Structure 1
């Protein structure tokens, strides 16, 4: 039997679990490339940043009233994202976590994550998070090069950028990681690897390495369209997409999603829910959730959200395209049968036939027991391969 697992465990479809995401939209200033709902409101914290916590609780109770069955699910991930949730008032954060515990069944080994920016990291705040129960921190570092940070409108405190990774590495929170962005206009390969090497010295468990993208409606996208700023460096992005998986493996990091690498066993449990179509509750303005095969989105407007917490736009989920657009971002081994066994028989056959064609083209490996894994050769053609797979299922 072909061994494509190595020392990794194949991902299987799971039932009975729930993730919870809380969106904190406030930032010191909004980055020009950012497509998430966020509000740049300056360095000093504002009253609205405290008031939003009462809206969170109202939305949570509204969700439970609409879907009481979610209280019987096991919550094994809680993720505070944004925006910049490291700006949260820790007393209010602690109170919210206790409120969530009172409403849901938290697993003993729950992964409790918070996103942070370097400017917020102090020894005191890290100790507070540890006491509260935060056991995973992800720092949006992006680059240590100030000209690239300024190019995309990111707030930058030079001293904090120097010391924040060290403070995090020396804290009691042992599960931590960093985000880096590559492909800034005129950025060189050497500059990116300088950023990477700087962060590797702090021995993170997780690294998210994202290419700079032009997201529709963002300020950076408009600036490029108006020729005020240069577009991302696509040549560098292509080269790094091809070479990073091998380099990161040599450094001891598993490639488990298009842009994500980790030490063995340190995948983001919460993010895997998005890619494997598990249920997750999303709280806050601009947040997106997935419950009972339905997707919902909260208004991308603070006033509208706080006026009616829990009022959302809903849409039915079509499981086949959902599967294609989420599961096939994963580069870990996947127990494919566990994900497609509820599809119509004909759809299953078409699905597996097309995957076997991809194997013949050396884009993937498939074991006789249905364990599937993309090869590195698939990365530059991934969107096209997913499109072909969708067409094969729909057109026959």
Structure 2
């Protein structure tokens, strides 16, 4: 089974109001260079060297803030340590107004063939609320730049359920995204994470709490419009033109091996071991530079936990959970292990059991967390 490689680049021009990822405001080129060297060293020392790899994903943060030389240095190290499939999917997250045609040409020369484009919204008021650091014009210009430099696999990230967002506003956002015709869309309903500026604004009533019922209507509208436009929904939040499903993201949902490098990067060996690096950038870099481990947490998963995670992660997929695959992997029947819980979920019209599969219903997609709690 081929693995995926995840590289975390924490640097951002500004911190988005809703974000709780491990990020740092970019200070100077020296700190970025030092971080790049640490990531290269961590890859060089990987215990999983020579593993077959068919997806590489640079996430963040804002990986598109890297220079071409910095990105290429990391990519070259990956290529020297791992066995890279000829048809590798190589994705870099890119934010509007963080790239130039010259940089995009350089990224493509380094092997990048997929752009995950952080649009989030085309509404100027919402962009200011989210502290995105770009405007809608920047998003349109950067998208044209991606096409002009030859990117033929582009994914949009967009968020529904923002404070004060109306159904009409969300529809306008969807219409503009569809007019631009990306190959893939990841469309998320806003989640409020404690400790973020947006959570504090809501707590102090400077912003209203998002309307969950309205967010449900937005989700249904999103499904309807994208299906009509020829996109296939293959996961709760992800839609793609046929053949453009995100290979790397599928690895997480199918519990395939992913090896992460960089601050806060998480890894899973595809069997039962999971580990994560330090969340603080300085702590991570110092550990690498002084020859110490950058791993902050390490766990071996028990069979029950593995089986539960496999069940709810596969249920995120539109194809659902294959009961035969589950039984082959874990040695027992899911139906027998969760009989009363599954009967109750079926009665509530949250899941459907048909033949050899368990899938979320349309209602179950809206209330997926209630379904997943059964398996946690």
- TM-score normalised by L of structure 1: 0.86
Q: Is residue 98 of structure 2 the alignment partner of residue 120 of structure 1?
A: yes
Q: Is residue 15 of structure 2 the alignment partner of residue 36 of structure 1?
A: no
**3-state SS in 2 of match to 1:345:** coil
Question: 1:236, CA displacement in angstroms?
Answer: 2.3
Match of 1:184 in 2: 162
Match of 2:311 in 1: 324
**3-state SS in 1 of match to 2:32:** helix
Match of 2:337 in 1: 350
Cα pair 1:366 1:373 within 8 Å, conserved: yes
Match of 2:264 in 1: 286
- For structure 1, the 5+ residue unaligned runs are 1-15, 65-69, 392-396
Residues of 2 paired with 1:29 and 1:377: CA distance? 37
- TM-score normalised by L of structure 2: 0.90
Question: 1:122, CA displacement in angstroms?
Answer: 2.6
Match of 2:280 in 1: 301
Match of 1:18 in 2: 3
Question: 1:359, CA displacement in angstroms?
Answer: 5.3
Residues of 2 paired with 1:377 and 1:174: CA distance? 34
Match of 2:76 in 1: 98
Question: 1:187, CA displacement in angstroms?
Answer: 0.9
1:70-81 equivalent positions in 2, closer than 5 A:
70-81=48-59
Cα pair 1:127 1:171 within 8 Å, conserved: yes
- For structure 2, the 5+ residue unaligned runs are none
Q: Which structure is richer in relative contact order (CA contacts within 8 A, separation 6 or more)?
A: 1
Q: Is residue 232 of structure 2 the alignment partner of residue 249 of structure 1?
A: no
Residues of 2 paired with 1:217 and 1:381: CA distance? 25
Residues of 2 paired with 1:237 and 1:39: CA distance? 30
Match of 1:46 in 2: 29
**Deviations for 1:314-344, whole angstroms, at most 9, x for unmatched residues?**
1222302322342222123543322332324
Residues of 2 paired with 1:286 and 1:359: CA distance? 38
**3-state SS in 1 of match to 2:141:** helix
Cα pair 2:71 2:107 within 8 Å, conserved: no
Match of 2:372 in 1: 386
Q: CA RMSD in A?
A: 2.2
Cα pair 2:318 2:360 within 8 Å, conserved: yes
May I ask how many residue pairs the two structures share in their alignment?
367
Question: 1:372, CA displacement in angstroms?
Answer: 4.0
Residues of 2 paired with 1:244 and 1:152: CA distance? 21
